[in-house]
C-alpha cells in the first residue's frame, strides 16, 4: 500500500532540489543509485505494519517528520 503523496512529497521535493542545484559532487554511480532508490521509494512509499518485515514497527512518525540537511 502506497501512502498518500502528501505524507512524503516533501522528500521528493527535497531530492529534486538537491539534483537541480548542480552542486552535488557525487560520482555518477552514486547519482544513479540515488535515482534508483528514489524511484523505488516513489513506487512503494514508506513501509507500513502491513508489510511483514515492518509489522512491529510503525514509521508513521518518520513519515510525518521533516528532516533538514546539515
**pLDDT tens for each residue of 3-53:** 455 667 777 777 777 777 665 678 889 889 988 988 888 888 888 888 889
What's residue 36's pLDDT? 92
End-to-end CA distance of the chain: 31
What's residue 45's pLDDT? 82
What's residue 1's pLDDT? 45
Q: What is the pTM of this model?
A: 0.62
Task: Report helix angle 28-44 to 9-20, nearest 10.
Answer: 160
Sign of the torsion angle spanned by Cα atoms 52, 58, 70, 13: positive
Asked if residue 56 has pLDDT above 90, the reply is: yes
Amino acid at each position: 500500500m502506497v501512502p498518500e503523496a502528501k505524507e512524503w512529497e516533501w522528500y521528493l521535493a527535497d531530492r529534486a532540489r538537491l539534483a537541480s542545484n548542480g552542486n552535488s559532487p557525487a560520482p555518477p554511480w552514486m547519482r544513479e543509485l540515488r535515482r534508483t532508490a528514489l524511484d523505488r521509494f516513489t513506487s512503494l512509499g514508506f513501509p507500513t505494519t502491513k508489510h511483514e518485515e515492518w509489522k512491529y514497527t510503525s514509521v508513521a512518525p518518520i513519515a510525518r517528520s521533516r528532516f533538514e540537511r546539515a
